[in-house]
C-alpha cells in the first residue's frame, strides 16, 4: 500500500476522536474508544464475506444441541476468530432509540469468539458503552468507522466499472496502521508512555544487536522471539520484521514464533489485538497475562532471541510476597547453586527488580542449539553498580559475568526515552560467544552518538538515525578499542571484599580480582606498611562485581601549560598597574 493511503487511513481514524469524542472525553482518554473500535472494525471487515456461512453453521449447531461451537464457527469464518451475532458493524449505525442501539451493540460484541472477548475485556471497552450512549455518540462513531471513504477490509472496493476504487488492506499494513495509532496516543500521553512504549529507534538498535552478529548463520528453520515485558508488543513485531528481512537477503525460509508476557491489561490487549490484526491468531495465544516475576507464563520454554525493556526503579514487593517473601524465595531463576554456594541468592532490594528480568531471560536460554540464545535488554545505571559484595545485585552481576554471558554493555544518550531523562544501557548477552569475545566484555560509550529531535516527545529530545545505528553496530561488530569502545577481561569488573583485623578494629578493603599476587600481595603492599599487625579474616571474604563507565571513559579536562598561565598573570599585573596609576593620578 502506498504511504499516502496509509497516512490517509491513520489521519481519518485519528480524526474520529476530534469529530465525535471531543466534548465527551478528555484528550488522554480518546484511546479508550478509538483503539478497541479500530480492532473491532478490522475484525468485522475481515468477517463480512463469511457472515452467512457462520450464521448457517450456528443454526446447524444450535439445532443439534452442540454447546462448544467456537472451533466450528471459526472454521466457517476461515479465521482464528469469529462473530456469531446476527449483526455486522454497519448494521448498527442507527436505531429508533439509543437503548435499542445499546442492546444490539452489546449483542454484537457478545457474538465474538473468546479470544476477541479477552481483548475487549482487557480494554475495558464495555465500560465506555454507557458513556457513549448517554452522550448519543455511539451511532455516530460507528458510522465513521464504516465510512465508504476508507477501506479497512482485506478486499478491494470496486467502482461501477469494476476498477479498484479503494485498495484492500492486507494484514501487515493493518498492523502497521494500528501501531502508528498506538504511537500517536503514547506520544499524546507522554507521562505514561515510557511505562509501555520503547522508542522505535532504540528497539531497532536492540534488534540489530541480537540479529546482525549471527545473520550469516540463519538457516531454513523455526526461531522463537520472547519479551517478558512486552508492553504493546513493539519489540516482538520489530524483531520479527528484522529477522525476516535478514533471512530473505540470505535466501532463507524461516518461521518465527513470538512469545510475550505483560502485566498491564490495556497494553496486553493491544499486543494481542495487533497480532490478530496481522493475521497471526496463533501467535496471539502466545502472549501471557500477568507478572513475569511471580507468575511466569512460560516456565518450561526456552527461546532463541529475547528482548526486553523492564521497569526500573520500580518496587517489586508484591511479587516478592507472592514468591514467598524476599527471604523465602526459592525460584531457581533467582536462587540456585553457583560457585560452590548451594543457595546463591541474586535477589535485589525490593525497591528495584530490573535485574530479575535479565535473570528470567538467562533462565530461558537454549543450551543445546548451535546458536544458543541472544538477549538485548535495557536497564538504568543501577544494574551496573548497586549492591555490595555478596548482596543480590552484585551476585546477579557475578552470575552473568562468571558464566561468561555478557558480550557488551552500551551506554545510551540521556533523554532517549519518553518519561525519563536518565542514562540507560543496553545489555547484550549470549551463551555462544565468538572465540574472540570469550572471557571478555565490551563497553561502548554511545552517549554522544545522537541526533536532536525538532520537537521534544516528553523527555525524549534525541534519537538514533539509521547512520548512527550503523555507527554503533560497527563499533560492536568490529570489536576493537577506540575512544568509544573498550574491551576488558571479565575479571576486571570483579573484586574481593576482605575484612582486615587490626587489634580491636570489624576495617574492609576492596581488592581487584586481577590484582597481581592476589590478597596476600595487596595486604603486604597496601596494608602492612601502615598496620604491621593487621590480619585478614578469610571467613568473611566476599566476591563482588561492579561496572563503572565513568571510570573507564573518563576524559580529564585539558590543563593549560605553565607558560600560558604565566602569560595571563603578567597581563593581569599590567592591567592592575595601569589602573593603580590612573587612580593615583
More confident: 583 or 360 = 360
pLDDT confidence of 191, banded at 50, 70, 90?
Answer: very low
Distance CA(508)–CA(568), nearest Å, equals 47
Q: What is the pLDDT of residues 231-276, one digit of tens each?
A: 878 899 889 999 999 999 999 999 999 999 999 888 888 888 888 8
- The dihedral sign for the CA sequence 385, 389, 393, 397: positive
Q: What is the pLDDT of residue 118?
A: 93
Is the predicted pLDDT of residue 2 greater than 60, yes or no? no
* CA contacts within 13 A on the Cβ side of 42: 26
Q: Look at residues 256, 214, 186, 262 and name the one whose alpha carbon lies nearest to residue 419.
A: 186
Is the predicted pLDDT of residue 487 greater than 70, yes or no? yes
Q: Look at residues 365, 318, 326 and name the one whose alpha carbon lies nearest to residue 334.
A: 326
Is the predicted pLDDT of residue 192 greater than 50, yes or no? no
Cell of 507: 576495617
Q: What is the pLDDT of residues 28-81, one digit of tens each?
A: 889 899 999 999 998 999 999 999 999 999 999 999 998 889 999 999 999 889
The rounded mean pLDDT for the chain is 90
CB 16 within 8 A of CB 144: yes
Is the predicted pLDDT of residue 215 greater than 80, yes or no? yes
Is the predicted pLDDT of residue 194 greater than 60, yes or no? no
Is the predicted pLDDT of residue 1 greater than 60, yes or no? no
Q: What is the pLDDT of residues 525-564, one digit of tens each?
A: 999 999 888 899 999 999 999 999 988 887 777 777 888 8
DSSP element (H, E) containing 180: helix 171-188
CB atoms within 10 A of CB 203: 22
CA 89 to chain centroid, in Å, comes to 34
Q: What is the pTM of this model?
A: 0.84
Angle (CA) 307 311 312, round 5°? 115
- Could you tell me the CA-to-CA distances from 387 to 78, 259, 327, 392, 394 in Å, in that order? 55, 32, 16, 7, 5
Tell me the Cα Rg of the chain.
Answer: 30
Q: What is the pLDDT of residue 193?
A: 43
Q: What is the pLDDT of residue 233?
A: 85
Amino acid at each position: 500500500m502506498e504511504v499516502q493511503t496509509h497516512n490517509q487511513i491513520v489521519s481519518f481514524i485519528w480524526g474520529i476522536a476530534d469529530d465525535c469524542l471531543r466534548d465527551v472525553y478528555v484528550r488522554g482518554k480518546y484511546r479508550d474508544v478509538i483503539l478497541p473500535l479500530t480492532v473491532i472494525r478490522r475484525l468485522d471487515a475481515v468477517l463480512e464475506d463469511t457472515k452467512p456461512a457462520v450464521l448457517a453453521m450456528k443454526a446447524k449447531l444450535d439445532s443439534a444441541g452442540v454447546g462448544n461451537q467456537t472451533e466450528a464457527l471459526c472454521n466457517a469464518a476461515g479465521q482464528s476468530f469469529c462473530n456469531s451475532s446476527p449483526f455486522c458493524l454497519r448494521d448498527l449505525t442507527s436505531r429508533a432509540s439509543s437503548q435499542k442501539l445499546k442492546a444490539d451493540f452489546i449483542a454484537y460484541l457478545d457474538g465474538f469468539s473468546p479470544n476477541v472477548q479477552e481483548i475487549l475485556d482487557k480494554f475495558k471497552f464495555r465500560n465506555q458503552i454507557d458513556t457513549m450512549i448517554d452522550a448519543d455518540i455511539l451511532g455516530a462513531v460507528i458510522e465513521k468507522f464504516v465510512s465508504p471513504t476508507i477501506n479497512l477490509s482485506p478486499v478491494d472496493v470496486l467502482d461501477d466499472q469494476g476498477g479498484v476504487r479503494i485498495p484492500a488492506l492486507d494484514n501487515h499494513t493493518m498492523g502497521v496502521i494500528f501501531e502508528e495509532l498506538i504511537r500517536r496516543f503514547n506520544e499524546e500521553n507522554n507521562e505514561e508512555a515510557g511505562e509501555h512504549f520503547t522508542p522505535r529507534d532504540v528497539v531497532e538498535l536492540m534488534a540489530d544487536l541480537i540479529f546482525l552478529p549471527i545473520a550469516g548463520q540463519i538457516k531454513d528453520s523455526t526461531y522463537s522471539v520472547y519479551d517478558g515485558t512486552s508492553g504493546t508488543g513493539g519489540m516482538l513485531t520489530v524483531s520479527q520484521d528484522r529477522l525476516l528481512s535478514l533471512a530473505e537477503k540470505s535466501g532463507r525460509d524461516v518461521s518465527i514464533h513470538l512469545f510475550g508476557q505483560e502485566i498491564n491489561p490495556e497494553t496486553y490487549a493491544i499486543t494481542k489485538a495487533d497480532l490478530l490484526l496481522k493475521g497471526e491468531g496463533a501467535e496471539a495465544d502466545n502472549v501471557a497475562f500477568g507478572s513475569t516475576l511471580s507468575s511466569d507464563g512460560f516456565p518450561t520454554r526456552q527461546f532463541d532471541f529475547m528482548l526486553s525493556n523492564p521497569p526500573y526503579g520500580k518496587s517489586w514487593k508484591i511479587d516478592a510476597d507472592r514468591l514467598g517473601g524476599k527471604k523465602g524465595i526459592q525460584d531457581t531463576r533467582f536462587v540456585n547453586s553457583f560457585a560452590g554456594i548451594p543457595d546463591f541468592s541474586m535477589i535485589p532490594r525490593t525497591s528495584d527488580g530490573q535485574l530479575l528480568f535479565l535473570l528470567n531471560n538467562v533462565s530461558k536460554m537454549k543450551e543445546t542449539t548451535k546458536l544458543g540464545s541472544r538477549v538485548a535488554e535495557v536497564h538504568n545505571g543501577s544494574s551496573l553498580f548497586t549492591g555490595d559484595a555478596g548482596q543480590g545485585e552484585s551476585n546477579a552481576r557475578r552470575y552473568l559475568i562468571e558464566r561468561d554471558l555478557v558480550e557488551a554493555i552500551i551506554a545510551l544518550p540521556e533523554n532517549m526515552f519518553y518519561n525519563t531523562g536518565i542514562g540507560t544501557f543496553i545489555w547484550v548477552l549470549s551463551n555462544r560467544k565468538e572465540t574472540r569475545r570469550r572471557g571478555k566484555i565490551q563497553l561502548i560509550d554511545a552517549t554522544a552518538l545522537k541526533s536532536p529531535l525538532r520537537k521534544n516527545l516528553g523527555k525524549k529530545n534525541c534519537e538514533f538515525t539509521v547512520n548512527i545505528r550503523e555507527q554503533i553496530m560497527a563499533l560492536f561488530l568490529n570489536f576493537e578499542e577506540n575512544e568509544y569502545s573498550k574491551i576488558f577481561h571479565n575479571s576486571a569488573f570483579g573484586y574481593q571484599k576482605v575484612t582486615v583485623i587490626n587489634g580491636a578494629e570489624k576495617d574492609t578493603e576492596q581488592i581487584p580480582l586481577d590484582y597481581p599476587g592476589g590478597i596476600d600481595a595487596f595486604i603486604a603492599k597496601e596494608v602492612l606498611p601502615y598496620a604491621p599487625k593487621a590480619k585478614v579474616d578469610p571467613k568473611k571474604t566476599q566476591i563482588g562485581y561492579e561496572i563503572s563507565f565513568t571510570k573507564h571513559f573518563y576524559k580529564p579536562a585539558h590543563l593549560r601549560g605553565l607558560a600560558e598561565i604565566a602569560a595571563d598573570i603578567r597581563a593581569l599585573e599590567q592591567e592592575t598597574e595601569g589602573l593603580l596609576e590612573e587612580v593615583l593620578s
